[in-house]
């Protein structure tokens, strides 16, 4: 099958007839629902750009499985150049959508599973890797969107999965059959789940003895029997239900999260990639997290570009663009944004080839990248709000502007620079609000904190990867620690001895 068009993608979603619930009701025409459609438009952009020749180098890659050109979101990285192009592609899409375009999780999942299935087979004599390669080829040939599902609800964080009073708070195997397995549980905070053709499930933590039923990885269709979705709310989401685009800020694009429930879902063995091998669950979690933390050095930078541009435009419209402190704040926003991009590229260019043949990012630098993402977008957002001014959060509605009596008053008192129409000033301020406080905040500010793991998760990995003992040895070597000491050479030199030297 050739690369899909955006229109074909949207129709393919409608054909799935997913079980989606929003505001306590099951949705029928979810692809045209005003709250959901902006998130669908974001993924459609990954199809649109893939068909444009000027973006082909970033959006497409050559499959090592078939030799054919495929969408990069379905590609297994074959070089550090592939890793860097991934980050650049993500920045491009962030610029084009100003939101979360949702396909990164599936891309990161297939690349993590590719190496882990290979290593599991080598150690255990299983057949996971051959199954998984066949599945990746299926994704590539049909140009499908896959959702990477890792995060479990977790229940009591102080208890292991098998110790939970309710075993379902971690997705687990409830039955093993000759034909496959039956699973039950849920995956939370699932980015783009309702916009995906396929689901790739992974364990959420490193499992231990006793957790064998929870150490499971598999794929299944998004519309598999027993799978349903409860759509997550976002700030200001009901503005999308209003019959205007002014108050939304970014009317065309938006993110999406959902609770994905597995109610005794059957999975055939050919789609199972880990089943009880607890010792490999930790590697899968760490590698997926590493790839996804790399991703934030691209996607958040692209959205940051939009926010910086919106803040600069707001400064123009407010008539303060020439003020030195405004220029300095825009410089600081750019400095922080480009630092994030540098981290994303650095962990890519320092990537290494795995035994399976694919390439993995530098884990330490990827975690440093995401640790910075938990901080810098918050400062970028703060500076944007500072530049935009208080009107960003006190502005009247589009209905007020349209009102025959109130509209002229809004026009009169909220005019900015004399040649700027009031409605354009309102539009740009709504965009800043959308990116910092509204429905895109999940795809930028809030997601910067919790997406791909909490800040503490990155700090734990940085501690593991930092090789403190090696740094100690460097210091000891330069200081001469452990060398014999000749006390006789410790005498204070006389003036005459100093002169002879």
Q: pLDDT of 87-117, one tens digit each?
A: 999 999 999 999 999 999 999 999 999 999 9
The yes-or-no verdict on residue 496 having pLDDT over 80 is no
338 falls within a domain: yes
**Confidence band of 499 (pLDDT split at 50, 70, 90):** low
Q: What is the dihedral of CA 147, 153, 157, 162, to 10 degrees?
A: -90
**What Cα–Cα distance (Å) separates residue 452 from each residue in 138, 278, 297, 351?**
26, 21, 12, 19
Q: Which of 33, 74, 75, 104 is catalytic?
A: 104
Of 123-132, 153-162, 430-439, the range with the lowest mean pLDDT is 430-439
CA 29/CA 17 separation, integer angstroms:
9
The yes-or-no verdict on residue 476 having pLDDT over 90 is yes
The yes-or-no verdict on residue 67 having pLDDT over 70 is yes
Task: Give the pLDDT confidence score for residue 454 in this predicted structure.
Answer: 85
HSE-up (13 A, CA, CB side) for residue 332: 17
Q: Which of 74, 120, 126, 191 is catalytic?
A: 191
384 falls within a domain: yes
Give percent above pLDDT 70 in the chain.
98
Q: What is the mean pLDDT of residues 182-190?
A: 97
**What Cα–Cα distance (Å) separates residue 10 from each residue in 16, 36, 44, 68, 303?**
10, 12, 7, 24, 23
379 falls within a domain: yes
Task: Give the pLDDT confidence score for residue 447 in this predicted structure.
Answer: 82
Q: Which of 212, 229, 292, 433 is catalytic?
A: 292
Helices (H), 350-421: 363-373, 376-388, 391-394, 398-402, 406-413
Q: What is the mean pLDDT of residues 258-275?
A: 98
23 falls within a domain: no
Q: Which of 299, 343, 347, 369 is catalytic?
A: 299
Q: Which of 114, 214, 296, 359 is catalytic?
A: 296
42 in catalytic set: no
What pairing do the DSSP bridges indicate for beta strands 258-268 and 227-231?
antiparallel
**Confidence band of 493 (pLDDT split at 50, 70, 90):** low
Task: Give the pLDDT confidence score for residue 500 in this predicted structure.
Answer: 57
96 falls within a domain: no
Task: Give the pLDDT confidence score for residue 444 in this predicted structure.
Answer: 86
**Confidence band of 81 (pLDDT split at 50, 70, 90):** very high
162 in catalytic set: no
Domain count, the chain: 1
117 in catalytic set: no
277 in catalytic set: no
The yes-or-no verdict on residue 418 having pLDDT over 90 is no
Per residue in 279-297, pLDDT (tens digit) is: 999 999 999 999 999 999 9
Q: What is the mean pLDDT of residues 311-336?
A: 97
275 in catalytic set: no
- How many H-runs (helices) and E-runs (strands) does the chain carry? 18, 14
331 falls within a domain: yes
Task: Give the pLDDT confidence score for residue 244 in this predicted structure.
Answer: 87
292 in catalytic set: yes
CATH of the domain at 302: 1.20.140.10
Q: Which of 100, 236, 343, 347 is catalytic?
A: 100
Task: Give the pLDDT confidence score for residue 494 in this predicted structure.
Answer: 66
**What Cα–Cα distance (Å) separates residue 351 from each residue in 60, 290, 342, 389, 465?**
20, 11, 14, 43, 14
Domain interval for residue 400: 285-465
Q: What is the dihedral of CA 301, 304, 306, 311, to 10 degrees?
A: -160
Mean of all residue pLDDT scores within the chain: 95
395 falls within a domain: yes
Q: What is the mean pLDDT of residues 41-52?
A: 98
100 in catalytic set: yes
Contacts of 405 (CB under 8 A, 6+ apart): none
Q: Which of 257, 286, 385, 433 is catalytic?
A: 257
299 in catalytic set: yes
The yes-or-no verdict on residue 336 having pLDDT over 90 is yes
339 falls within a domain: yes
CA 289/CA 277 separation, integer angstroms:
19
């Amino acid at each position: 099958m050739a690369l899909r068009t955006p229109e074909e993608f949207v129709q393919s979603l409608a054909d799935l007839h997913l079980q989606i619930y929003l505001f306590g009701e099951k949705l029928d025409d979810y692809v045209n629902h005003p709250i959901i459609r902006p998130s669908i438009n974001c993924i459609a952009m990954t199809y649109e750009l893939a068909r444009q020749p000027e973006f082909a180098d970033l959006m497409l890659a050559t499959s090592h499985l078939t030799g054919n050109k495929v969408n990069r979101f379905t590609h297994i990285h074959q070089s550090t150049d592939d890793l860097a192009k991934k980050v650049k592609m993500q920045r491009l899409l962030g610029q084009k959508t100003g939101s979360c375009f949702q396909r990164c999780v599936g891309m990161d999942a297939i690349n993590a599973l590719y190496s882990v299935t290979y290593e599991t087979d080598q150690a255990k004599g299983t057949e996971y890797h051959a199954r998984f390669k066949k599945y990746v080829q299926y994704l590539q040939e049909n140009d499908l969107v896959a959702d990477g599902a890792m995060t479990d609800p977790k229940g009591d964080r102080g208890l292991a999965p098998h110790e939970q009073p309710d075993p379902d708070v971690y997705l687990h195997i409830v039955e093993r059959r000759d034909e496959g397995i039956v699973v039950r549980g849920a995956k939370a905070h699932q980015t783009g789940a309702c916009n995906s053709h396929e689901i790739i499930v992974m364990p959420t933590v490193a499992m231990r003895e006793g957790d064998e039923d929870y150490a499971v990885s598999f794929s299944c269709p998004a519309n598999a029997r027993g799978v349903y979705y409860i759509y997550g709310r976002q700030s200001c989401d009901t503005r999308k239900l209003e019959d205007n685009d002014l108050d939304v800020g970014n009317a065309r694009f938006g993110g999406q999260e959902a609770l994905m429930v597995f109610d005794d879902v059957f999975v055939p063995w050919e789609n199972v990639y880990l089943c009880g091998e607890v010792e490999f669950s930790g590697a899968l979690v760490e590698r997926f997290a590493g790839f996804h933390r790399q991703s934030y050095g691209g996607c958040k930078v692209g959205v940051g570009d939009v926010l910086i541009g919106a803040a600069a435009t707001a400064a123009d419209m407010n008539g303060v663009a020439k003020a030195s402190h405004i220029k300095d704040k825009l410089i600081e926003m750019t400095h922080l944004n480009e630092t994030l991009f540098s981290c994303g590229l650095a962990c890519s260019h320092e990537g290494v080839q795995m035994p399976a043949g694919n390439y993995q990012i530098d884990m330490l630098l990827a975690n440093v990248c995401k640790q910075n993402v938990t901080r810098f977008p918050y400062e970028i957002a703060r500076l944007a709000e500072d530049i935009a001014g208080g009107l960003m959060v006190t502005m009247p509605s589009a209905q007020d502007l349209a009102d025959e009596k109130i509209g002229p008053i809004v026009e009169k008192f909220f005019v900015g620079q004399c040649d700027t129409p009031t409605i354009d000033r309102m539009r740009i301020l709504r965009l800043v609000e959308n990116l910092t406080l509204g429905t895109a905040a999940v795809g930028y500010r809030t997601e910067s904190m919790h997406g791909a793991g909490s800040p503490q998760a990155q700090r734990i990995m940085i501690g593991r990867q930092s090789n403190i003992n090696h740094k100690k040895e460097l210091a000891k070597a330069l200081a001469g620690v452990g060398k014999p000491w000749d006390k006789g050479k410790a005498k204070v030199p006389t003036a005459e001895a100093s002169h002879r030297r």
